[in-house]
């Protein structure tokens, strides 16, 4: 049965005056509550389905649900490897959103955190009553700060590898989910499972398309994604730099020691480059033994320091064959295509090789 048919499988709506649902202690009418949430989600379905990113769609559904109900204080979702040791909410909404933003559930730390993990990988939703005397500290906080009295955790299922997830809802009525009915929230769980499975499949596809199979770093196909972080509309925008790194005499390594050794050298270099950079920096395998380093929001002096650190790290790299690297450095040009700056970095690298290798050349 489809998600929208599941929403519609409910008693006829009971209309409640707006004044009756206002305020922090809104009267609780289960049938009216169910009808209000279902109608709100159906009314917003067309808008939500135009959202192109999966987590934004999930967040939009949570926002619509929490916005419709005075009794749902928080809804959050998580999706990932079922065997993970840590859960952090990824999409959330509600007046208690700060709780989700700061929540970390660790499998091996506290047994009171078990309910979420029992549900993770399970087949059926679970409900929990909470109060200011709950053994789990964060639930005591939710009870005291937001009047939460019940929690429902819905497992999210995926047909993609070992991925799974959770959809967790917090309400201020002790028997909220029993009285409103589980089916409304399990239907949302089915929707989220489909949406997040699509996210997992797309992520895996992007991983294969945008990453180099040999070294694990990005490849040329990823450049349009990175380009948005590097481009400068004017000279007043923060500067960014490109480094073109070429392994010196790499053909000799292949010819004398074999391609298996050459492949291992490239893997070692790629890992070294990646580990020495900031999280926002990028490493792309540009050609056979060439790597393009992208340094967004970087000053000139810092770019040269990074280049020197990388050159020295390659020289000192332990492995089956000692190698060095020639590095060309160029600033990303304002109001120009990135290709022009890449060409400048490439020309600088060629100059470094012509003038002796194992050195850095900057081209203005």
- For 220-363, CATH gives 3.30.70.270
Cβ neighbours of residue 8 under 8 Å, at least 6 residues apart?
38, 42
Whole-structure pTM value: 0.55
Task: Write out the two tokens for 51.
Answer: 């959202």
**What's the topology of domain 3-207?**
Beta-Lactamase (3.30.450)
- What pLDDT tens digit does each residue of the chain (364 aa) get? 444 444 444 443 333 333 333 334 567 899 999 999 999 888 887 777 676 677 888 899 999 999 999 999 999 999 888 878 888 999 999 999 999 999 888 765 544 444 555 666 667 888 989 999 888 888 899 999 999 999 999 998 877 667 788 999 999 999 999 999 999 999 998 888 888 777 777 777 677 888 999 999 999 998 988 888 888 888 888 899 999 999 999 999 999 999 999 999 999 999 999 999 998 899 999 999 999 999 999 999 999 999 999 999 999 998 888 999 999 999 999 888 899 999 999 999 999 999 999 999 999 8
CA neighbours closer than 13 Å in the CB half-sphere of residue 140:
7
Task: Write out the two tokens for 346.
Answer: 């490439």
Phi, psi (rounded to 5 degrees) for 147: 65, 25
Residue 236 to residues 297, 333, 339: CA-CA distances in angstroms? 12, 12, 20
Q: Which of 33, 54, 63, 289 is catalytic?
A: 289
- Domain ranges in the chain? 3-207, 220-363
Q: How many angstroms separate the CA atoms of 11 and 34, rounded?
A: 9
Catalytic residue check, 182: no
Q: Could you identify the residue written with the tokens 């895996």?
A: 204
């Amino acid at each position: 049965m489809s998600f929208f048919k599941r929403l519609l499988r409910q008693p006829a709506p009971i209309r409640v005056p707006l004044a009756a649902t206002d305020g922090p202690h809104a009267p609780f009418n289960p049938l009216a509550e169910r009808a209000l949430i279902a109608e709100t989600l159906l009314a917003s379905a067309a808008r939500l389905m135009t959202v192109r990113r999966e987590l934004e769609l999930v967040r939009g559904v949570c926002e619509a649900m929490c916005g419709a109900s005075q009794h749902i204080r928080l809804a959050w979702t998580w999706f990932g490897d079922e065997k993970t040791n840590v859960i952090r909410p990824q999409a959330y909404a509600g007046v208690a959103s700060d709780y989700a933003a700061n929540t970390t559930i660790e499998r091996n730390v506290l047994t009171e955190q078990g309910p979420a993990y029992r549900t993770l990988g399970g087949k059926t939703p679970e409900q929990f009553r909470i109060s200011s005397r709950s053994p789990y500290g964060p639930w005591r906080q939710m009870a005291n700060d937001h009047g939460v009295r019940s929690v429902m955790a819905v497992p999210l299922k995926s047909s993609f590898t070992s991925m799974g997830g959770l959809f967790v809802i917090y309400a201020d009525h002790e028997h909220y989910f029993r009285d409103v009915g589980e089916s409304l929230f399990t239907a949302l769980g089915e929707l989220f499972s489909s949406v997040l499975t699509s996210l997992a499949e797309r992520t895996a596809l992007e991983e294969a398309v945008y990453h180099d199979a040999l070294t694990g770093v990005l490849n040329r196909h990823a450049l349009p994604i990175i380009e948005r972080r590097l481009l400068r509309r004017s000279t007043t925008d923060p500067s960014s730099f490109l480094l073109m790194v070429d392994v010196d005499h790499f053909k000799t390594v292949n010819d004398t020691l074999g391609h298996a050794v050459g492949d291992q050298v490239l893997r070692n270099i790629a890992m070294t480059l990646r580990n020495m950079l900031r999280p926002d920096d990028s490493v792309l395998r540009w050609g056979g033994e060439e790597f393009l380093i992208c340094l967004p929001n970087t000053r000139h002096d810092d770019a040269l320091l990074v280049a020197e650190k990388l050159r020295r790290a390659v020289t000192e790299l332990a492995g089956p064959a000692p190698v060095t690297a020639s590095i060309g450095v160029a600033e990303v040009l304002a109001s120009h295509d990135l290709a022009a700056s890449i060409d400048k970095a490439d020309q600088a690298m060629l100059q470094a090789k012509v003038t002796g290798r194992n050195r850095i050349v900057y081209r203005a």
